Amino acid sequence: FGMARKAAPGGPWVRMMSVGATKKMNLVGAINDALRIALETDDRAVIFGEDVGFGGVFRATNELQDSFGKHRVFNTPLCEQGIAGFAVGMAAAGATPIAEIQFADYIFPAFDQIVNEAAKYRYRSGGQFDVGGLTIRAPYGSVGHGGLYHSQSPEAYFTHTPGLKVVIPRSPSQAKGLLLASIRDPNPVLFFEPKALYRAATEEVPEGDFTVPLASAEVVKGGSDVTVIGYGAQMGVLQKAVARAEEELGISCELIDLRTLLPWDSDTVFASVRKTGRCLISHEAPITSGFGAELAASIQHSCFLHLEAPVARVCGFDTPFPLAHEKVYLPSVARCFEGIKQTCAF
């Protein structure tokens, strides 16, 4: 598929290092910390995008230009196609470009550069050339007041593209470790950041340099009655729904965070579904052709004889993201709880 193999265990992009001290950070602070470490540890690393020189609209790159200079952290014109094309060229020349698309909603002008150039560069050259040093960051998802142009979840458009990796973190520590792993992975990576959690999610984060392995899901909570799968900001919703299902209904839920959508960790998911016999998948993106559809089809194919109920999906609706009806559109705690309840009652 035109992708480099993952390094052996202990390699630089899958290593979970001994990090020692921790510091309380929110998610955007953890992103900033990861970017600072990337610039410190790789002289070829550069950061660019719209307004990143003064910190960006969310301040994810705050003070980095002051520390590393305008030749390593710099603004670009308001042209997503140009940002992505420039990043592809830099990566092809051996640099480590970390490009920012200010909102994931505006990544579509860069679509051709990402899916036809970055994703296929290694394959079309027979492995002679690659843009494996490329990472594209973009804040995605609902934020409470973003409306239809600042709230979308476009991950499924890219999970259909061999040659890319797609990563979405759920928390500050995960964001830091996964971002550093993405920057050091020998393949182009799209890193979608849940902007609703930028300042809402806070926890103790290791201060040192560490990575969280890509293509590896995490069983956040063990259980025996139903497997619940999500990623990104939706994990917080699912944790509350799972807790309510256990308290009110006595349902034992196994909760899985995919973390990487492409390639996704089918081994962990299949093992869980074969154990529980039931599965619910949830994401903010519209239900039709959302990434949950791929998960449901794969689970049905590989776990059919173990299933006690149809695979359920609780997702966004098939409409543009509605400002006035955001609370109705989103797969809320109540909707996910009802989905768990119906799946276990089947």
pLDDT for the residue numbered 144: 87
The residue whose two tokens read 């063990």 is: 222
- Mind telling me the catalytic residues? 80, 150
As a residue count, the chain comes to 346
Q: Among all chains, which residue has been given the structure tokens 């042209």?
A: 79
How confident is the model at residue 20, as a pLDDT? Answer: 77
pLDDT digits (tens, 9 = 90+) for 224-257: 999 999 999 999 999 999 999 999 999 999 999 9
Other Cβ atoms within 10 Å of 10 Cβ, number: 8
For tokens 């999610």, what's the residue? 201
* Per-residue pLDDT band at 17 (split at 50, 70, 90): very low
Distance CA 138, CA 105 (A): 9
Task: Assign 4 a pLDDT band (cuts: 50, 70, 90).
Answer: low
Handedness of CA 301, 5, 191, 320 (dihedral sign): negative
pLDDT score recorded for residue 178:
98
Tokens of 312: 């359920």
d(CA 298, CA 302): 6
User: Pick from 224, 217, 313, 221: which is nearest to 276 by CA?
Assistant: 224
Global pTM reads: 0.94
Q: Would you state the pLDDT for residue 18?
A: 46
Over pLDDT 90: what percentage of the chain? 94
Strand (E) or helix (H) holding 270: helix 266-276
Cα within 13 Å of Cα(121), Cβ side: 25
Taking only the tens place, the pLDDT of each residue in 270-314 is: 999 999 999 999 999 999 999 999 999 999 999 999 999 999 999
Sequence letter at residue 54: F
- Residue 219: pLDDT band (50, 70, 90) is very high
Helix (H) or strand (E) holding 35: helix 27-41
